[in-house]
């Protein structure tokens, strides 16, 4: 019988001997990515990747920031997680059996460490308030007959309205008078 003659419906059941038909019926593909994509599609594969990434991040955080008395078990769980992910994608994997192992490792790590560990907050040291001396900016002198305005700027007339009325020292410039230098 030629290969092209076996194409059609129920190909998996006719090409496999009787001892292997159970595996074909169960969908046990011995491939981690296929065991996720075929039953759940691309959205299920993305959700499974999210679970892998979140679980690996939680276990790495527990390994890195966990209690020193749990250092050995956290190292074991972190390395087991990395090897599990590598084995699942590149060597052999099956969602129906490996999902329980992954969930068990993540759950054990979270339970032993009391959650996902974070770096210990560093105490903030009180710093003395910085006191800067006041800067005294140079104030330009007002325009006067002795201090003329720069070229192109108006210089007020210093004949005051109050001087015309006999009040001395008021110092307001005349209204409407400006002399250009």
Residue 124 falls within a domain, yes or no? no
Q: Which residue has the higher pLDDT, 16 or 55?
A: 55
Q: Where are the beta strands (DSSP E) in the chain?
A: 154-156, 178-180
On whether the CB atoms of residues 38 and 27 are closer than 8 A, the answer is yes
Q: Per-residue pLDDT for 20 more than 50?
A: yes
pLDDT: which is higher, 126 or 26: 126
Q: Are residues 40 and 98 in the same domain?
A: yes
Name the average pLDDT for the chain.
75
- Whether this model's pTM surpasses 0.75: no
How many domains in the chain?
2
Largest CA distance in the chain: 131
Q: Within this chain, do residues 42 and 80 fall inside the same structural domain, yes or no? A: yes
For residue 34, is pLDDT > 70? yes
- Structural tokens at position 91: 């060597």
Q: Would you say residue 95 lies in a domain?
A: yes
Which residues are CB-contacts of 52 (< 8 A; sequence separation ≥ 6)? 85, 102
- pLDDT for 51-87, tens place per residue? 999 999 999 999 999 999 999 999 999 999 999 999 9
pLDDT at residue 179, as a whole number: 47
pLDDT: is 25 or 43 the higher one?
43
Whether the predicted pLDDT of 138 surpasses 60: yes
Helix, strand, coil % (nearest 5) of the chain?
Answer: 55, 5, 45
- Residues β-bridged to residue 179: 155
Q: Is the pLDDT of residue 166 over 90?
A: no
**Confidence class of residue 49 from pLDDT cuts 50, 70 and 90?**
very high
Same domain, 42 and 93: yes
User: CA-CA distances (angstroms) from residue 7 to 1, 10, 12, 19, 25?
Assistant: 11, 9, 10, 21, 18
Specify the pLDDT at position 96: 83
Cα dihedral sign, 51-54-56-62:
negative
For residue 107, being part of any structural domain is answered with: yes
The percent of residues above 70 in pLDDT, for the chain, comes to 58
- Rounded to an integer, what distance in angstroms lies between the CA atom of residue 52 and that of residue 47? 9
Residue 134 counted as domain residue: no
Q: Are residues 107 and 33 in the same domain?
A: yes
The residue-averaged pLDDT of 123-136 equals 75
Who contacts 28 (Cβ-Cβ below 8 Å, separation ≥6)? 35, 94, 96
Does a structural domain hold residue 18?
no
* Same-domain status, 104 and 42: yes
Q: Is 70 part of a structural domain of the chain?
A: yes
Assigned domain for 170 exists:
yes
pLDDT at 128: 77
Query: Is a pLDDT exceeding 60 seen at residue 177?
Result: no
Higher pLDDT, 173 or 43: 43
Residue 167 has pLDDT above 50, yes or no: no
Domain that holds residue 174: 143-181
């Amino acid at each position: 019988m030629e290969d092209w003659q076996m194409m059609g419906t129920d190909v998996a059941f006719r090409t496999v001997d009787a001892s292997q038909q159970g595996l074909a019926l169960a969908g046990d593909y011995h491939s981690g990515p296929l065991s996720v994509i075929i039953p759940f599609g691309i959205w299920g594969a993305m959700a499974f990747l999210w679970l892998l990434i979140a679980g690996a991040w939680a276990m790495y955080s527990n390994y890195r920031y966990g209690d020193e008395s749990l250092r050995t078990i956290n190292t074991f769980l972190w390395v087991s997680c990395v090897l599990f992910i590598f084995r699942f994608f590149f060597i052999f994997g099956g969602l129906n059996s490996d999902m329980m192992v992954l969930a068990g490792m993540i759950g054990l790590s979270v339970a032993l460490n009391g959650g996902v560990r974070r770096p210990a907050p560093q105490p903030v040291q009180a710093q003395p308030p910085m006191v800067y001396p006041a800067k005294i900016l140079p104030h330009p002198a007002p325009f006067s007959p002795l201090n003329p305005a720069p070229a192109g700027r108006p210089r007020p007339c210093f004949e005051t309205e109050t001087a015309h009325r006999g009040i001395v020292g008021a110092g307001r410039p005349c209204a409407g008078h400006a002399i250009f230098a």
